[in-house]
Amino acid sequence: MPFYAIDGLRPVVHPSAYVHPTAVLIGDVIVGPNCYIAPGASLRGDFGRLVLEEGSNLQDNCTMHGFPGTDTVIEVDGHIGHGAVLHGCRVGRNALVGMNCVVMDGAVVGESAIIAACAFVKAGQEIPARTLAAGIPAKVLRDLSEEEIAWKQAGTRDYQNLALRSARSMVEVRPLTEMEEGRPRYEGGEAKPKN
């Protein structure tokens, strides 16, 4: 796995976290329990500290970075969608940053907030707890319902389970040349044969 020390600072990864072998972690990176880091993620702790707190996930091709002396933090159960960029910001507990978002230096995404896909959260901007923000630049559109927050929590639990599934069963293989008869399909829980 590509883990790199710089200036003597080595990444720290809790044993219950899953980091895909194609993710890159450099320097001052702290990955807490039950986290999931997906393929192609880049966590460059070569200037500021990068922290993923318990149960958070960073999906495919995301980038985390920051300026010297800053912390970039994903709090407990934070959920970062594919292709997002986090730079010197804080993503609150149980918040979701959608696919291809950019969250800039000093920005704070409040607890249980949702940032819609492709949004741009400006430097220093604060997104209040339990709100939906969207756009370029991001604007708060409305408060979130209990159902929307529950939907987000369920999605995060899926990624916490994916960390367990990946640690238990993901291995590098050669592809098959044809689809086998009765090929299993993942339908939640374990892969099951299709009837």
The tally of domains found in the chain comes to 1
Task: Please tell me the predicted confidence (pLDDT) of residue 195.
Answer: 42
pLDDT digits (tens, 9 = 90+) for 153-180: 999 999 999 999 999 999 999 999 999 9
Please give the model's pTM, rounded to 2 decimal places.
0.93
Torsion 117-11-32-129 (CA) sign: negative
pLDDT digits (tens, 9 = 90+) for 61-91: 999 999 999 999 999 999 999 999 999 999 9
Q: Which domain holds residue 91?
A: 3-147
Percent of the chain whose pLDDT exceeds 90? 93
43 in any annotated domain: yes
Cα gap 144→119, rounded to integer Å:
17
Distances (CA, A) of 9 to 28, 49, 103, 181: 6, 10, 25, 50
Average pLDDT over residues 181-186: 90
Predicted local confidence at residue 185, as pLDDT: 87
Give a yes or no: residue 52 inside a domain.
yes
Domain with residue 85: its CATH number is 2.160.10.10
